[in-house]
Amino acid sequence: MTNNTNPNEIPEFSSDMVKKFQYASGLLYHWIESFGLEETLNLLDNFRLPFESLWVQVNTTKIDFDSLIDIFEEMELKVNKHPWFNDFIEVKVGKREMEEDVLLYPVVKVDRESASNIALGKDVHTASITSHNSFLTGDKVRIMDFAGNIIALGTAMVNSKEILSLSQRVVVKVTESLGYVPPLTEMKEYRKGYFSILTPTQAIGTKSMYLESKDNILVMSGDRGEVAGYIAELTNNKCPITIIAQNKMQLKAIKRQVERLQIKAARIILSSFHNLLKEKHEVKYTSVYFEPQNSRTAVIPTFASNLSFKRLEKMSNDQIEVASKLHRLLHKEASISYVTHSIDYLENELVFQKILEKAFYEVQSFPLEIRNLQKKNILNSREISLTEIITKGKEQELSTIFLNPAAIKNIGGFVAKFKFKAKTT
């Protein structure tokens, strides 16, 4: 871990940052100590900006690659063939610059939870507003985030004097925003299962799996079923896939994805990860996509405001607890891809270290497609001073990837590769 900051300076810097960015002071201390002040400020500044593109995974069993690009271009979207993967398209998120005369408009300031959606074009609702100037119905207003940055312009739908007495409703109709996300999920081609949208770490995490026709696959993730859908395509729907839904809302979303993508060999289990690991399983899994609950601090432009250092530690410890029992579900030599959407060492490298301290887990190299990107320095690990990880008396090279959200201008995170090794007598 790098630490270039004078400890005596941290409280003063952090106090100013708490006021500006509205993050818990303990979390800011932790980041400054981990990354240094400059990198922390860079990360926080980038958290308020819209990401640059959507990663669209093409379901080539239903549509060919070029035909989908043609459809997007007919919608006047900016698209590129993905520079890393031949089954992904990058669809650019629109970016706008605000004119200088907007500084004359009255201000509506919104909370951090709402800022990300408003920066991407969503309207301002009553509950999102933290402060405002005086304005009349029909006035043009500028919308500012928690740090005082202009994120959108809009038209007032009510008189400002009415706001306190209103129940939840639209107060400002957004007319211009910093970014514009194309409504891809509203397209008929999406509903027909021609494509899905994955985050960069989900894409890399899925591609890091060694998928074979004889596999019995387990997906432990908080997503809505997109990862399972991609795995189904990569295996030509010939491998059984068990998908864990941790609550009824996720269960409903996964069922929609299974139907949309026509996943033929999927079963869904409604269970928390902890309860799943308590049960006896006659069938053992040979390949696992493991994305436990994490802070999502690598998600641009923002993340939950109730995150604190203690909550971060709790999430990290919870990940370690789940991982330490994961072997109960696994066949000997089972392969695991570990994925988070976090910037933090606590949830990434240090969790991975704890996993490898168990005698029955060991490092597994990434598949060739990922290794080739590593050789070209397109995908990199993050340097960190860890306690040396020793396996059978020999130090091993860690199979990890870290995507810095500030560097890639997109949702970042961490991917690690390891396998379960049957105990020997």
SS3 content of the chain, % helix, strand, coil (to 5): 35, 25, 40
What's the confidence (pLDDT) of residue 109? 92
Greater model confidence, 125 or 20: 125
What pairing do the DSSP bridges indicate for beta strands 179-180 and 94-95? antiparallel
What's the confidence (pLDDT) of residue 326? 93
Q: Is residue 353 part of a domain?
A: yes
Sign, CA torsion 388/350/47/204: positive
> In the chain, what percentage of residues exceed pLDDT 70?
89
| Residues 252 and 296 reside in one and the same domain | yes
| Residues 58 and 26 reside in one and the same domain | no
Lookup: tokens for 136: 């009349």
107 φ/ψ angles, rounded to the nearest 5 degrees: -105, 140
Task: Evaluate if residue 269 carries a pLDDT over 60.
Answer: yes
Instruction: Say which DSSP state 240 is in.
Output: -
N-terminal to C-terminal alpha carbon distance within the chain: 38
| Residues 339 and 217 reside in one and the same domain | yes
| CATH code, 405 | 3.40.50.150
| Residues 143 and 88 reside in one and the same domain | no
List, for residues 64-88, the tens digit of each pLDDT value: 999 999 999 999 899 999 999 999 9
Structural domain tally of the chain? Answer: 4
Picking from 150, 180, 210, the residue at the C-terminal end of a domain is: 180
**What's the domain range around 294?**
199-420
Residue pointed to by tokens 């211009």: 176
State the burial class of residue 94 (Cβ atoms within 10 Å of its Cβ: 0-12, 13-18, 19+). Answer: middle
Give the count of alpha carbons within 13 A of 325, CB side only.
15
| Residues 203 and 227 reside in one and the same domain | yes
Q: Is residue 405 part of a domain?
A: yes
| Residues 12 and 123 reside in one and the same domain | no
| CATH code, 119 | 2.30.130.10
List, for residues 277-336, the tens digit of each pLDDT value: 988 877 799 999 999 999 988 987 665 567 889 999 999 999 999 999 999 999 989 999
Instruction: Say which DSSP state 23 is in.
Output: -
CA distances (Å), origin 244, targets 223, 275, 292, 327: 10, 11, 11, 16
Picking from 189, 223, 248, the residue at the C-terminal end of a domain is: 189
Chain-wide mean pLDDT for the chain? 87
Lookup: tokens for 324: 């330490």
| Residues 82 and 111 reside in one and the same domain | no
Q: Is residue 287 part of a domain?
A: yes
Q: Is residue 313 part of a domain?
A: yes
Instruction: Say which DSSP state 222 is in.
Output: S
List, for residues 188-240, the tens digit of each pLDDT value: 999 999 999 999 999 999 999 999 989 999 999 999 999 999 999 999 999 99
- Does residue 240 have a cis peptide bond before it, meaning omega lies within 30 degrees of 0? no
List, for residues 398-416, the tens digit of each pLDDT value: 799 999 998 999 999 999 9
| Residues 23 and 79 reside in one and the same domain | no
Instruction: Report yes or no: 409 and 45 within 8 Å, Cβ to Cβ.
Output: no
Per-residue burial over 301-317, b if 16 or more Cβ lie within 10 Å, else e, is: bbbeeebebeebeebbe
What's the confidence (pLDDT) of residue 393? 42
Q: What is the spatial distance between Cα 81 and Cα 327, in angstroms, rounded to a whole number? A: 39
What's the confidence (pLDDT) of residue 388? 46
Q: Is residue 425 part of a domain?
A: no
Which residue, among 67, 118, 111, 113, has the nearest Cα to 89 in the 3D structure? 67
Q: Is residue 2 part of a domain?
A: no
| Residues 150 and 233 reside in one and the same domain | no
| Residues 42 and 67 reside in one and the same domain | no
Helix (H, G, I), strand (E, B) or coil at 297: coil
Instruction: Say which DSSP state 134 is in.
Output: -
| Residues 206 and 342 reside in one and the same domain | yes
| Residues 166 and 77 reside in one and the same domain | no
What's the confidence (pLDDT) of residue 26? 85
What's the confidence (pLDDT) of residue 249? 93
